[in-house]
Amino acid sequence: MPTHDAEAASEDARRWRVQSQRDRAILGAVSAGYVVIRDQHILEVNDILCRLLGFTVEELLGARAPWPFWPPEGYEIAERLLQEVPVTVDSTRRPYTFEMPLMRKDGGRFIAEITTASAREPDGQLIGYVCTVSDITSHRDYEAELQRLADQDPLTGLANRRVFEQRLEQEMADAVRHDRQLAVAILDLDHFKCVNDRFGHPTGDRALQETARRLGLVQRKGDTLARVGGEEFAWILSDVHSHGAWAAVERARQAISEAPFDDIGTLTISIGVSLRGDVRGPAEIYERADRALYRAKHEGRNRSILWRNL
């Protein structure tokens, strides 16, 4: 007959199996991927994590870091987090959430949001670090699209006035800090009201889009080109002196006038340019470029004017 100790051990084993099955059922109902880690070993995962990563339970259980879902290009970040996160969780006694790229078995990457907390026995002994894992790539893509829409002029796809003003402030600060030159150009299509009046606003809108396209072709890499008004554009030319700025805006002016626009014919553009020089801030350099533009309009249009104490 089984002894009392044997019966107790058998009952403990049965309870452990029941509890393990119950825990697995609970883990299977969790809506996010779930992994338990201790001593850099994976102790437990749920089916959702396996489906998310494309690995089987057997391929993940017992795996030691670096884990197969770490992308090779992210090893340094992952290893740093592996060291930092437990310290943060244990010191704050609160879950810690962070984001990092993970890799599926087929090599595909996604952005994961990971929340880590420590699980402990009643006596304080560590059971493991419990991590929930969610794929937030689509959420990040949606946020990026919202940001893009907030930053872009909806008609031309160029930066809008708000972004232009932010960039100008940043560029001016950098130019002053590093003692670099900077130019701002304001470009305005000539007689554009007549285009809208004669051909209609849809044709005028297409002309603005074509203007943006042509200006984009002559824009220098790293510069900021924006639509800041109806038919008015603004251009920040970084690290440029007067001759370089003049040559750039002349290319832009010629790009507009050298070929006719569909349904309209030839259009021209007037441009005012200001260099950083002794200006005291973004507002002043923009104002000087605007005054130079006014002079270009006043002197007959289809020309570029550099502000020189006008």
Q: Which residues are catalytic?
A: 231
**303 neighbors 270 (Cβ within 8 angstroms):** yes
CA distances 45 to 48, 54, 60, 86, 241, Å, are 8, 13, 8, 18, 61
Four-CA torsion 244, 249, 255, 261, nearest 10 degrees? 170
CA distances 249 to 102, 142, 271, Å, are 46, 36, 7
Phi, psi of 41 (to 5 degrees): -110, 145
**294 neighbors 284 (Cβ within 8 angstroms):** no
Residue 68 CA to residue 104 CA, distance in Å, equals: 8
Which pairing describes strands 269-275 and 304-306: parallel, antiparallel, or unpaired?
parallel
**114 neighbors 100 (Cβ within 8 angstroms):** yes
Cα-based angle 204, 206, 208 (whole degrees, multiple of 5): 70
Residue 54 CA to residue 107 CA, distance in Å, equals: 10
